[in-house]
Structure formats: C-alpha cells, structure tokens
C-alpha cells in the first residue's frame, strides 16, 4: 500500500471540514474564516504522508445554478492541489442537522461537477457524533429517510463516523477506510473527465482575461485622471473600486454558511 494519501474534503460547511482536518493532524487551522480558494494542508500521520485539501463551500440546499462560476471552477480545480490526483473525497455530513431532499440534490449536483467517476472515491464522513445519543449510525441513516440513504448508496455504502471533538480519535480507523477505497479502485487515484477539465480551464481563462482587462483599464484611467488633476473623477473612480471590493466581500459572506 502506498504510504502517501491524498484527500479532498468536500461539503457545505467550511468550519466543519476544517475541524476534521484539525482532528486528523492534531493541530489548529482557522475555523471561522471562509475561503473562496481551496486550502492545502499536509503532514505525517501514523507514519503516513497525508495531503488534505479543504475546498470552497456551497449552499447546502441550493442548486449549482445558484453558485457563482468562479466558485464552481475553484471546487473542481481543487484536485490540482494534490497531484497527480486525490485517492479519496471525504464528504462531511453534520449529524446534528436534518438531511432533506434539497441537501441530497445539492450534494449530487456539486459532486457531479467532477464527473460520475467521483462516486467510487467518496466516503461519507459523519461528524457531531454526540447527536446520535443512544441511536446507532445505521438507525440514524434509516430514520433520516431515502435522501441520505441514496447518497450512501451512491458512495458504495462507504461511511465513517468521526469524532471531531477529540483530536486524533478515530484517525487510524479512517485511514483503514481510505486504504479500502484505494484497494477497490486498484490503487488508482481520481481523474477528472478530460472534457470537464477543458471546459473549466477555458472558463477560468476567460474570467482571468476579463479581470486582467478590467485591472488594466482602471490603472490607465487612474493615471490619466492623476495627470489631469481631476480630483472629482478620481474620487468617483475610487468609489467604483470600493464597490467592487465590497461586492467581493459580499460574495464571501454569502457563501459562508457557518
């Protein structure tokens, strides 16, 4: 078995995913900040080199059509942060929250951005285990209804309960589950569909070109106004820039679901 493990952590709650990473590595990362970019962490756990990618989040009860294109691209491109590709995707599900139909559809659509191949690499990672009380995880899945059961089925009935409140607790068992996924996939890591990669790359380049053109335009306009000494217009331009910045922060807050 390869000593290196590459994992992409997905889900709608950034802080919950960060808490999972904390528990695996036994240290701290930021929990209360939303990142529009995926974050890479790596370290040694139980003698294994592990790379974990905390991805950008999504609205858990909304369709992908409501997700900004740049966030979709960032989600899909998270696989490039652990080349040549992740062995496993950990889908973090909070046991303390209900699991309605909208949540199932949202998960299927967002994971669908990676292509159908992803499902053979997914493990559902249940957190907030205290919510189970005297109920077993099997009883909980049954009581939640068909929507959660469908997600479990799509993942090949691979799931694991993980106590994020006790750092390091259950990590060895999780590594065994991950090794099992690697074995089932004949040691092969996940590979995104070529067509999807080309589509994402094209859209990303288009956005970057537009952003570059906008930046150049603003710089040129600022220089012209400065040379003319047009204070009023320069102030107006600054107001526009502040508006763009605030709009960007608004997107961050809108996607922060904690």
The per-residue pLDDT for range 56-65, each reduced to its tens digit, is: 877 666 677 7
Residue 257: predicted pLDDT: 39
| Per-residue confidence band for 141, with pLDDT thresholds at 50, 70 and 90 | very high
For tokens 């609205």, the residue is: 59
243 versus 254: the higher-pLDDT residue is 243
Q: Comparing C-alpha atoms, which of 17, 94, 7 is closest to residue 45?
A: 7
As a whole number of angstroms, the distance between CA 133 and CA 124 comes to: 20
Per-residue pLDDT tens over the stretch 172-201:
889 999 999 999 999 899 987 656 666 766
As a whole number of angstroms, the distance between CA 22 and CA 26 comes to: 5
219 pLDDT exceeds 80? no
> 34-55: buried (b, 16+ CB within 10 Å) or exposed (e) per residue?
bbeebbebeeebeebebbbbbb
As a whole number of angstroms, the distance between CA 245 and CA 205 comes to: 21
Residue 248: predicted pLDDT: 47
The CA-atom distances, in angstroms, between 176 and each of 123, 155, 158, 173 are 12, 16, 12, 5
Over residues 228-257, mean pLDDT: 51
Specify the pTM: 0.76
Collapse the DSSP code of 87 into the 3-class scheme (helix H, G, I; strand E, B; otherwise coil) and give the result. Answer: coil
Sheet containing 48-54, strands listed edge to edge, beginning at the edge strand earlier in sequence: 39-45, 48-54, 4-10, 88-94, 122-127, 159-161
Residue 241: predicted pLDDT: 57
For the ranges 24-33, 74-83, 137-146, the lowest mean pLDDT is seen at 24-33
For tokens 């040549």, the residue is: 84
Per-residue pLDDT tens over the stretch 85-137:
999 999 999 998 899 999 999 999 999 988 889 999 999 999 988 888 888 99
173 versus 247: the higher-pLDDT residue is 173
66 pLDDT exceeds 50? yes
As a whole number of angstroms, the distance between CA 26 and CA 41 comes to: 12
Residue 249: predicted pLDDT: 42
Residue 14: predicted pLDDT: 75
Residue 221: predicted pLDDT: 67
Calculate the average pLDDT of the chain: 79
Residue 131: predicted pLDDT: 84
């Amino acid at each position: 078995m390869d000593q290196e493990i590459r994992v992409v952590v997905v889900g709608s709650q950034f802080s919950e995913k960060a808490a999972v990473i904390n528990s695996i590595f036994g240290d701290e990362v930021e929990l209360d900040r939303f990142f529009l970019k995926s974050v890479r962490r790596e370290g040694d756990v139980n003698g294994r080199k592990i790379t974990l990618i905390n991805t950008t989040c999504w609205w858990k009860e909304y369709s992908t059509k409501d997700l900004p294109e740049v966030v979709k691209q960032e989600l899909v491109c998270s696989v490039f942060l652990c080349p040549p590709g992740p062995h496993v995707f950990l889908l973090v599900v909070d046991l303390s929250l209900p699991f309605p139909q909208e949540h199932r559809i949202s998960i299927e659509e967002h994971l669908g951005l990676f292509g159908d191949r992803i499902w053979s690499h997914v493990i559902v990672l249940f957190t907030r285990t205290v919510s189970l009380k005297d109920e077993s995880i099997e009883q909980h899945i049954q009581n939640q209804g068909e929507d959660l059961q469908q997600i479990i089925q799509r993942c090949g009935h691979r799931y694991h309960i993980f106590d994020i409140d006790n750092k390091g607790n259950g990590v060895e068992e999780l590594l065994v589950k991950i090794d099992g996924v690697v074995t089932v996939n004949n040691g092969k890591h996940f590979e995104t569909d070529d067509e999807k990669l080309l589509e994402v790359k094209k859209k990303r380049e288009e956005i970057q070109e537009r952003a570059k053109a906008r930046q150049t335009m603003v710089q040129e306009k600022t220089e012209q106004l400065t040379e003319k000494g047009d204070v009023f217009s320069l102030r107006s331009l600054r107001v526009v820039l502040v508006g763009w910045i605030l709009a960007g922060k608004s997107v961050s807050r809108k996607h922060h679901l904690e």
